[in-house]
Amino acid sequence: MQLPLPLTRELVLIGGGHSHALLLRMWGMKPLPGVRLTVINPDARAAYSGMLPGFIAGHYQRHELELDLVRLARFAGARVVLGRVSGIDRAQKRILVPGRPPIAYDIASIDIGITSAMPGLDGFVDHATPAKPLETFANSWDSFREQVHNSRASADAVVIGGGVAGVEIAMAMAHALRRDGCEAPNISLVDRAEVLAEMRSKTRDQLLQHLKAQGVQLRETVEVLRIEHDRVCLEGGDEIPSAFTLGAAGARPWGWLKETGLTLVDGFIEVGETLQSSNDPDIFACGDCAHMHLTPRPKAGVFAVRQAPVLYHNLVAALTGAELRSFRPQRDYLKLISLGGKSALADKSGVRLEGALLWKWKDQIDQKFMTKLKRLPSMAAVPLPDPVADGVAEALAAGKPMCGGCGAKVGSDVLAGVLADLPSIARADVLTRAGDDAAVLLTGGQHQVFTTDHLRAFSNDPYVMARIAATHALGDIWAMGASPQAALASITLPRMSDTLQQQWLAEIMAGAGEVFSAAGAEIVGGHTSIGAELCIGFSLTGLCGKSAITVSGAQPDDRLILTKPLGSGVILAAEMALSARGHWVAEALASMARPQGEAARILSNANAMTDVTGFGLAGHLMAICTGFGLSATLHLDQLPLFEGAELLAGQGVQSTLYPKNRAALIGQCDVRPGARGDLLFDPQTAGGLLAAVPSADSAALVRALTEAGFDAVEIGELHPGAPFITAQ
């Protein structure tokens, strides 16, 4: 029998630039066994800069120029850390990301691009927008266009930065505002030097003519002194009216690189032909953040794209001791410059052409690049051994991997059948029986709650999984109105080297410790083992100052309040199949890690309460209905849902446990057909609290929960009658 290969090396990609995006695709097609790959980026999405002017002009929708790093990472089998790197401790080989433990590396690669932010410019942070990141810029630009269209803002805009990017953006802005119905937008382009100084003179003259034709006003060789909410103030006392000020001032390196001790040139990482740092062979750099000291070239995406195959080869070589290759950039490259409308200017080796056909050519090049990163190849399934026992092929007929988290739970029918056969000795100090969220024990005259839970990993990030697993386990304590007391950990790690074991456990205990400490609980010990995959679980105790809240105390006419959105199961299932958008996944993971202690405090006088987890909202609500003999009415249109959940459910995406959850309630539900109804049976991980509260208190409780930051909604009510759920 072939055992899984152990993990022995850590490769970390810092940044989601073009080279790293392509590398993730290559890694997914041919990973290096034994390596844990990590990519760190501030956002789940990265923008393809080549299509940014077209987006501003209105030729593309936002999603068309977004690279989904979460999806690419899933394809590559990599973990994603959503955060902005603040430094590198090269002595300890640790990467620093605020808000989480340092990330260890054996080999690291940096592809963070450049920044157009100018925090040192007076008023920039408060009154201007950098061209990157896209999310911030796109929201501000859309808002400005809407205000201009509705005559709530003047069509005055200033672009700071007279390089090619600034010129393209200025022309795109003028085109977009005219298309919106503004006859004479007032767009100004400002630079401390000569606009387009890096271009050939004839190409520059041609572009200046296009700027003039678009009505863009040039202010060259002038310093910007400060930015105010409605103007840009220049040296000499001149002022330019501006309702929208954009920073696009050339290639500015990220400031944190200065503290790394890496050799820099003008703030950019100096690399040799192998793309390794000049003074640290364990760190590679590529794209705009790198300076190729033997063959310096302008900052252009074409070099980043062509560096990717060499980078992939050299990272594998560095991790295996093989020979590295050299990257040799071409001397000149084709420049395709957008002219606002669907027209472009091409320049290479002194030859210039322009027109609509060139814009179509540019669009084809850009679309081909994006298609390569969006239409990921299907990897062949591993064939079954021959022969196999009867039933194996049928068990795998669904053709999709088993979900993690609560989607991997055993069905409620199986669990209920086993629990029903358990012997009971009716101890007086055990106040609950099998079926509630946790056991309630009478200890020294005080009620103590005891529970245990664990999760099969659905994220490749042990720190994130630990935070979610801790929050998930605490759900039972909070649902019963108890104060968390103590926790025991049960952790299974996949096979890996001793060094990686220590690193993974450190991240797990840091993540869990943060959650438990904030909740007032202490980790007092636990158990670890090596197994097939990462699993994290906790056994917990909690103390009740009064009788525990159970599922059996609901009353007729109680209102039902839910404190978190639904749909995490379907989103995780879709993510495993590469069909979920990365920002949907990021939102769901953030919600799963959100503690519910404050929500439990606000709901401490609920008549009945449970946390919504593996059996879905319908399954956990049925426990409340059965506990007192009540029926429930749910208002589907009021259900809070994660972004993307309804769309995915409508496409037929289901978590592994969904069919069993639905089958368990046959004859006990009348649910309106459709995606929203299906999500009632979607297994949740670290889901919200479901509380039955007196009708007179419901509005005030929802308001208090909302003010505390929870997505709380009143979703239905309870009535006298046999246990039954109506959802319309």
Co-location of 592 and 692 in the same domain: yes
Does residue 398 sit in helix, strand or coil?
coil
Q: What total of structural domains would you count in the chain?
A: 4
**What is the domain-level CATH number for residue 626?**
3.90.650.10
Domain-located, residue 309:
yes
Co-location of 442 and 518 in the same domain: yes
Co-location of 441 and 324 in the same domain: no
Domain-located, residue 355:
no
Does residue 692 sit in helix, strand or coil?
strand
Which residue type occupies 285? A
Co-location of 598 and 717 in the same domain: yes
Co-location of 313 and 450 in the same domain: no
- Which of 281, 311, 330 finishes a domain? 330
- Which of 518, 548, 578 finishes a domain? 548
Give the pTM.
Answer: 0.91
Co-location of 572 and 534 in the same domain: no
DSSP 414-467: HHHHHHHT------TTB---BTBSSEEEEETTEEEEEEEEEEE--SS-HHHHHH
Co-location of 581 and 703 in the same domain: yes
Q: Which residues are annotated as catalytic?
A: 406
Co-location of 446 and 585 in the same domain: no
- At residue 299, the pLDDT reads 73
Co-location of 295 and 311 in the same domain: yes
Co-location of 243 and 259 in the same domain: no
- Which of 308, 330, 352 finishes a domain? 330
For the stretch 90-108, pLDDT in tens is: 999 999 999 999 999 999 9
- At residue 416, the pLDDT reads 56
Domain-located, residue 119:
no
- At residue 149, the pLDDT reads 87
Domain-located, residue 58:
yes
Co-location of 311 and 460 in the same domain: no
Query: What is the rounded distance in angstroms from the CA atom of residue 653 to the CA atom of residue 52?
Result: 33
Domain-located, residue 585:
yes
Domain-located, residue 135:
yes
Domain-located, residue 336:
no
> Which residue bears the tokens 């006088």?
605
**What is the domain-level CATH number for residue 313?**
3.50.50.60
- At residue 3, the pLDDT reads 55
Domain-located, residue 264:
yes
Give the 3-state secondary structure percentages of the chain, helix then strand then coil, rounded to 5.
35, 25, 35
Provide the domain limits for residue 28: 9-114+253-330
Co-location of 721 and 584 in the same domain: yes
Query: What is the rounded distance in angstroms from the CA atom of residue 555 to the CA atom of residue 607?
Result: 7
Query: What is the rounded distance in angstroms from the CA atom of residue 85 to the CA atom of residue 211?
Result: 38
* 24, two tokens: 């993730």
Query: What is the rounded distance in angstroms from the CA atom of residue 146 to the CA atom of residue 352?
Result: 37
For the chain, which ranges sit under pLDDT 50?
1-2
- At residue 1, the pLDDT reads 40
